[in-house]
Amino acid sequence: MRKWLIVLVSTVLSLSLSFPAVANEKEGPRPEQTLYKADVHIDPKKKQVEGSVEIQFWPKDASHAYVHVYPLAFTKEHKGELWDELLGKEVELGTYDENRILVQGKPVAVKRTGNVIEVPLSEEQSRPIVLSMDFTMTLPQNEGRMSYDEHAIWLGNWLPILAVKDQRGWHLDPYEPIGDPFFSENADYQVNVTLPDGYQLASTATDQAAIVDHSTPGQREFQLDAINVRDFALVIMDSTYHFKETKVGNTEVRTWYRNGDSEEQASRNHTAAVEALQYFNSQFETYPYTEYDVVRVGGSINGMEYPSIVFLDGRHYLPNGDNAFVTVVHETAHQWFYSLIGNNQVDEAWLDEGFAEYATLAFLAAKYPKVGADRVLRRLKQGTITPYYVQEHLRPGQTLHAFPDNESYSDLVYSRTSSMLWMLREAWGEERLHEVLRHYVSTNRFGIANAASWKATLSEAAGEDAGAFLSYWINLDMSKQEEAAIWLEKLRQNQKNHGHPMEKEKAEK
């Protein structure tokens, strides 16, 4: 423990000195890439979504596939403090009816368990399966990721999406009130959205490139394409919405706000998105998508990330919006740690939330030193003082339902993981750590990373096994504390004596 205290004190003393004073087009489809084709009509007045989705995929199991239909979670009442924190206390349930489920054009009998539908398969695996479904949805009203208010409809995790099957089997986790209870693989999306005149949208697609069909009086059809993305989110907005726009490299950054919002705060949020995208481009890898939307929604979700789009609730558009700037930076960091490099957000939430929080700290340290210093110290305090969590057998590397409250989730998943990365930064230096993170992102780009992926990257960069270090930090294994401290000190001395950077990977893109 003593060595960690020495490192922490050293970090505190050095903060004021160490902080400075101041896509290409989306990549084309891969062989055997899953394709989602959706055609939906949205009625903003009735708060209804009606349409169909067709999923073309190569099955990983000859007998069946599973589909997550997350809107089903909001067709029944949830009780408890955690659900109240997520959805609010004044909740109106939605409805969801799926019908005419076909496989290769033939009706099949499906089994529903919670928000998961089991679909029987019978075709050979030598060719892709086409699964289609019609659905009608009345939106719930709540404070969460999928709801509405008088000016907007925001649709997060709304389209049916294939469950992941890997070496551990099928991942069929239920909707949880803590964290982001999702796990998905990259796919291509072709989504046609029909809206009444007078409405506009922002989505995971490059909306400015959408083909818009005005042929039917009183309505418009948007043809949206998104290539190689992890999910597809969508916000429908009325005419009270406007946006600020700046190009960063090949990416158009758009920040959406409403009449009545603070214009000054909207500008600050836009600055945060632009500066963060620029910084993360320079540090971790160039953002591959050509549009990034920061969209003001209702509710109290704080911030919520999706590929190429993030939701930001209205509190962040009030004058001097509470923590708005930092929230935008954090959600932008998720465009790398969640979107570009995926992970199981249910079982290993630390891999996206903790890494995104470290990236946020690094940005603030470089661009806004005072704000950065305060936030780093707070995360270090929360992430290194852990006797209670050891006693309660809580740790960052556990599944979402094992966290008893949002405070423990924040302390362990956000603070302890970002503290671990900050300790590596103290030992290696910013340049070296970010080189290792670039290698990690590049190696797992558009794929799924896990704890073993990070351990392999870290062990390779250090030149020896990082197992004890990660067991102490991520599993809170106190028996590994001294070994982890020795490992980190050796890292520091090797960097001081040699300072050889990791050779940049020369993999063909």
Question: Which among 187, 276, 286 is positioned nearest to 509, based on CA atoms?
Answer: 286
Distance CA 76, CA 101 (A): 22
- Residue 141 is encoded by which pair of tokens? 């009203």
Distance CA 72, CA 98 (A): 10
Instruction: Please check if 401 is assigned to a binding site.
Output: no
3-state SS assignment for residue 121: coil
Task: Answer for the pair 222, 237: CB distance below 8 angstroms, yes or no.
Answer: no
Instruction: Please check if 334 is assigned to a binding site.
Output: yes
Let me know the angle formed at the C-alpha of 144 by 139 and 145, rounded to the nearest 5 degrees: 75
244 contacts: CB under 8 Å, gap ≥ 6? 254, 255, 257, 266, 267, 270
Residue 414 annotated in active site: yes
Let me know the angle formed at the C-alpha of 354 by 22 and 499, rounded to the nearest 5 degrees: 60
Give the CA distances from residue 117 to residues 172, 219, 263, 345, in Å, rounded to whole numbers and listed in that order: 10, 33, 44, 20
Element (H, E) at 293: strand 291-297
Task: Answer for the pair 170, 156: CB distance below 8 angstroms, yes or no.
Answer: no
Distance in angstroms between the alpha carbons of the first and the last residue of the chain: 44
Let me know the angle formed at the C-alpha of 170 by 168 and 173, rounded to the nearest 5 degrees: 110
- Residue 95 is encoded by which pair of tokens? 């409805």
Distance CA 359, CA 351 (A): 12
Instruction: Please check if 434 is assigned to a binding site.
Output: no
Distance CA 300, CA 320 (A): 17
Task: Answer for the pair 336, 285: CB distance below 8 angstroms, yes or no.
Answer: yes
Please tell me which residue in 275, 331, 348, 426 is annotated as part of the active site.
331
- The distance from CA 231 to its chain's CA centroid, rounded to whole angstroms, is 10
- Residue 188 is encoded by which pair of tokens? 């291509």
388 contacts: CB under 8 Å, gap ≥ 6? none
Neighbours of 21 (CB within 10 A): 4
Element (H, E) at 244: strand 241-248
Decide: residue 105, CB within 10 A, 0-12 exposed, 13-18 middle, 19+ buried.
Answer: exposed
Residue 464 annotated in active site: no
6 contacts: CB under 8 Å, gap ≥ 6? none
Please tell me which residue in 414, 435, 440, 472 is annotated as part of the active site.
414
Task: Answer for the pair 40, 51: CB distance below 8 angstroms, yes or no.
Answer: yes
Binding positions = 330, 334, 353
Binding positions for Zn(2+) = 330, 334, 353
**Positions marked catalytic:** 331, 414
